[in-house]
Every structure is written in C-alpha cells, then in structure tokens.
Structure 1
Amino acid sequence: MRAFLPLAGAVVIWGGNWPVMKLGLTHVSPLWFAAARFGSAALISFAVLALLGRLRLPTRREWPLVLGVGLLQMAAFTALALWALQYVPPGRASVIAYATSIWVIPLSSLVLREKLSRAQWLATAFSYGGIILIVAPALAHWQAHLALGLLMLMGASLAWSVNIIQLRAHREVRLGADMIPWECAVATLPLLALALLRDGLPSTAALGAVWPVVLYTGPLATALTFIVVLNITQTLPPAATSIAMLCVPLLGLLLSALAFHERISPDLSAGLALIALGVATSALGPRLRRHAAARG
C-alpha cells in the first residue's frame, strides 16, 4: 500500500495541472508554454543537483531512456496535449490524454510478452468503453478543430505509452532524480526550436504574466512529479501504472468544472464511470486471486 502513496501525490499534482495549463495558454502559445515548463524545470533541477554534488552525465546505458523520456513522455505528450487544449475542454482532454491503458496493456502483451490476467484485460475493456463514450458524442457534430484536438490527445497518450513500454523493457537501468535535468533539457531543445520557428518571440508582457503558472507546471508538476512517476513506472507493472494514472483526469475534470465551469455531461459521466470501474478492476484483481488461492 505504501508504494502507491507517491503515486497518489503525483495524481493530485497532475490533476491540478490541467486547469493551470489552460490558464497559461491565455498568455503564450502551446509550444512556448511547453518550452517554458521544461526549461524552468531543467534549470532548477540542474542548480539543485549541482548544489547537492549529485550532478552527473547520463551513462551510455541511460542515454536511450533519457532521450525516450525527454522526447516522448515530456516533449511530445505535453506539446500535443497543450495544442489540443485550444480545441477541447481541459477536463475532457485530460481523460483522453491519460488513457494510456488503451495502448499499454496490448503493447505489454505484444512487445514485452507479458502474460496479462483476465482482470487486466477486463480493466482495459472498461477503459476502451469509457473513451468511446467520451469521444463519440464529441464527434457527432463534426468540427475539424475538435477532431484535430482529439487526435492530438490520442497521439499524446500513445507517445507516453511507448515510453512506458521502453522503460519496462529496460528495468535493469533505473533512472533516478539525477537524470531529471537532462530529460527536461532534451524536451526543451526541440520545443524551443519549434516555438521560435512557428511563433517567434513572445512579448515581454506575456512572459511576465505566465511565470506564476510556469512555477507550478515546471518545478512542481515536472521536476518533482516526474521523479515519482519514473520510479513508479520502473517498479510497478505497466498495466497498474497506466490504469492508476487515469485517476488524474478524474481530479482534473472536477477542478476544470470549478475553474472553467466545464459541464460534466451524461456521456462524460458515463465514460468516467467506466474508467473508474477499470481502475477498481485492476486494483482488486490481484487481491481477489490471492484470496481465491488461499481458500483453495
């Protein structure tokens, strides 16, 4: 049970991050916001580790995982999610982006050759059902921008899922806190280049207004929380991690409803109920098997 306490903290911080990111987009573009988030996290984590005497270069075995985390879990996921927030409400967007279980569980079986339990497959089915309920009504009245936003969110979910599989495939290499600055730097460089090429330099007023938001998304929701999530990803089964992280959009949706008056529609409620059922199935499955074995 104690192993899940850090995960619960990460869920709370990342759940609050969705309405905060929506607020940040009122000042700067998605690419600049993402670059500021990871750039600030990189600078702060570099400074802290240097003061602690723990700053070091990644080893040859660590570099592929550092690149994977930086490019997939950080840069690709965040850029796609932020861009989608321009077209999709933050609560609904967080639900879709964090539905990594729709990718991770099948990939765990196909790529890692992991034998998944019936409870895990049932949890995945519930998650698929929940996502379908949430996405389908949104596409009923076809809008190009909405469809694009939903595709970006699915792409963000896939990018993170691929990184989860990569980390699980190399469990002998553990990425600790001393790799966070390098991962953030890897994420910042392409985001910064794309922001300059596409959007040009933001105004001084915009940068001044967005910094309070960046302080939350950078040092707290990135530098600290990614340390926790990376450790969890490499210790807990990928199915359990990906399904447990679906609790993030539950909190994100509630906070978005309070902050932006996002309506929790019947289709969204039903989809969340199915996803919550998937989380419960995944969590209770191992206990039920142990109980049945003890009785047998």
Structure 2
Amino acid sequence: MSTQASPRTPTLERSGVATLLLILAIGLFWGGNWPAVRFSLMDIPPLSLRAIGFSTGALMLLGWAWLKGWPLLIVAGERAWLVATGLFTILGFNLGTAFGQLHMPTSQAAIVAFTMPCWALLLAIGLLGERVTARQWLGLGLGQAGLLVLLGPAAWQAGFEGLLGPTFVLGAALSWALGTVLTKRRGNWQGHPVVITGWQFALCALPTIVLAALFESPSAPTTWQASTWLGLGYHLVFAICLAQMLWFRNVNRLTIGQSTISTLIIPVVGVASAVVLLDEPLSSRLVLALMLILSAVAIVMTQRKQPA
C-alpha cells in the first residue's frame, strides 16, 4: 500500500529540517551582526573593520580547510566565477552597508539592505531563466510588506533628504543580489564551500587593507571598550566565517527564490536583538513585521505535493 502523503499535507522542499536549520542559522548569525557591527564601529572605522573581518575570515577558513585536508587549489574553470561572486557578494555588499551606516540609522540600513530578494528574483528571471511561482511572489509580497512595516513612517517623512546613506545601502543590496545569482548560475562548484569562501575573503581583504591604510587612522586596540571587543568577536566568528559559508551552501542547495526569501528573517533578528542589546522599545510594529516575514519564509519553503 502506498504511503504517499496527502496532497493537502505541506512538505518541506529539498532537505526539510536541514534546510530550515540552515535558514535559521543564517538569520540568527547575520541578524545579530547588525548590533555587533554597531558596537564595533564605536572604536573601529568602517574600512578598518572590513579589512580586519575579511583578513580574519580568510585566515580562519583557509586554515580550517588546510587542517581538514581539503584541497586549497581552485580549478581554472572556477577562478573567474570566484572573483566575480566574491567582489559582488562580499566586497560590494560590505562596503556599501558600512558607508551607508555612516549616513543613516542602522535599523533602517538593515531594512534597505534586505530588499535584496526583490532584485535577485528579477535578475534570476533574466540570468537563470527561473520561473517564479505564485507562492514565491506571495511570499515576497508578504516579506516586503513586513519590511515596510518595520521601516515605519519615518521613511516617508524624510522625503528626499539623506539620500546618500540609502543609495549606498541600495547599491549594497544590488551587489549582493547579483553575486547570489552568479553563484547560482555557476552551479556545481567543485571547491569546498569553506575553501571558496576563504579565497573570496582573501581577495576582498586586499583592497580594503590598502584603502584603510590610506584613509583611516584607527585608535589603538588597547583603548577599545569591552563592547567593541565583544561585537568584533561576534562579527568575526558568526557573521564573517559561519554565516558567509552557510550562505554559499544555501544558494547552491535552493532556488534563488527560496534562498533569497529566507534572508527576510535577518532584519527582524537584527531589530529584535537591538531591543535586547541596545534597549530599543519593543513595538507593535515590530511584532507585526515579524509575523509577516516569518509567514513569507513559511510560504516559500513549503509546497503541496501533487496527487499521484
């Protein structure tokens, strides 16, 4: 007798529980990174922070790969793809968000940055030939509604003032979206995700080190506050190393629609962690945004099986 599930029974696409855990880990790690970076920027200028992050990420990930015995050599056919995806996904996004936070509140920057799914879905239509399902459009609509609720009326009251910050962050979102679509288009990467991500960090570390040396003069580490060190530690371990590697793996496991929609949870985690760590108020707007975005993730990550 067949044990096939009922057509009305929702089933997780791809690998089920593992996929959800992957999404939750990325959401928690990158969501918590927004207040962590806020603490770090109290004593460390943005270019210097990115130079430290990229360099540490490269050393930790490539060192880990070396200890595990994974091949560090990137095959010739993947080198150009590694450069392109690294520059867009890591360098462009991180520099855009860093400079954006200098000209606008961090909470608003987080929200603008995670309009990325809109651009990735549109780019995927042209570059990957993906068909966006009705469920994905519904999930995307709910997620964007949640982001608008989270942003609140302040965005509309600001008018055309302060466009520099949003322009930087919007550029970061577009850069991340293009890098994500290119990662998916390459597909079937032979290199291990740890090795690929490590070399991407190494590539992006070079220009940030040069720019930081030319334009910034950070204070001595002995003068940094304890909160700066804690924020930097979280940023390096969870956001730079773990989340970036998991994101690379996530993109290759899922469709662009699934992987990018899943990032809508990140600004919710970022704002919620700010409530706890930065003593920001827990408002009804935040709760409503959380419900909308979690609904968006659930809709995209589940589907109904077709009858046999």
TM over 0.5: yes
| Residue 254 (structure 1) shift | 0.5
Q: Residues 197-237 of structure 1, C-alpha deviation per residue, up to 9 Å, x if partnerless?
A: 222x3222378554443332123322222222111101111
In structure 2, how many angstroms separate the alpha carbons of the residues matched to 1:128 and 1:66?
30
Q: Deviations over 1:12-51 (max 9, x none)?
A: 1112111111000001111111111111111222333333
Distance 1:10-1:274 versus aligned 2 partners, 3 A rule = closer
Cα deviation 1:248-276 (Å, max 9, x = unaligned): 11111111122223345566655555434
Q: Secondary structure at the match of 1:56?
A: coil
Instruction: Give the AA of the match of 2:108.
Output: R
Cα distance in 2 for partners of 1:128, 1:6 equals 22
* Pairing of 1:80-229 with structure 2 (within 5 A): 80-134=96-150, 137-142=153-158, 146-176=162-192, 177-199=194-216, 201-205=217-221, 209=225, 210-229=228-247
**Which piece of structure 1 moves more, 263-272 or 183-192?**
263-272
Q: Does 1:44 align with 2:60?
A: yes
Cα distance in 1, alignment partners of residues 229 and 102 from structure 2: 20
Unaligned runs of 5+ in 2: 1-15
Matched, 1:240 2:258: yes
Report the Cα offset of residue 191 of structure 1: 1.5
1:171-203 per-position Cα deviation (integer Å, ceiling 9, x unaligned): 13244212222111111112222222222x322
- Moved runs in structure 1, 4+ residues, more than 6 A? none
What CA deviation, in whole Å up to 9, does each residue of 1:125-146 have, x standing for no partner?
Answer: 3334444455573333437774
Following the alignment from structure 1 to structure 2, what is the Cα–Cα distance between the partners of residues 149 and 175? 36
The 2-side partners of 1:212 and 1:251 are apart by: 18
Q: Which residue of 1 aligns with 2:27?
A: 11
Q: Which moved more, 1:12-21 or 1:215-224?
A: 215-224
Structure 1 residues 56 and 248 mapped into 2: Cα distance closer, same or farther (>3 Å)? same
Q: Which residue of 2 aligns with 1:260?
A: 278
State the SS of the aligned residue for 2:207.
helix
Distance 1:55 1:208, change over 3 A: farther
Q: Match for 1:159: what amino acid?
A: S
Q: TM-score, normalised to structure 1's length? A: 0.86
Q: Which residue of 1 aligns with 2:45?
A: 29
8 Å contact from structure 1 (residues 108, 165) kept in 2: yes
- Residue 2 of structure 1 aligns with an amino acid whose one-letter code is V
Structure 1 unmatched runs, 5+: none
Question: TM-score, normalised on structure 2?
Answer: 0.83
Q: Give the number of the structure whose residues are more often helix, by fraction.
A: 1
The answer to whether the Cα contact below 8 Å between 2:197 and 2:248 also exists between their aligned partners in 1 is no
SS in 2 for 1:27: coil
Contact 1:109 1:115 in 2 (8 A): yes
- Secondary structure in 2 matching 1:246: helix
Cα distance 1:224–1:135, how it changes in 2: closer, same or farther (>3 A)?
A: closer
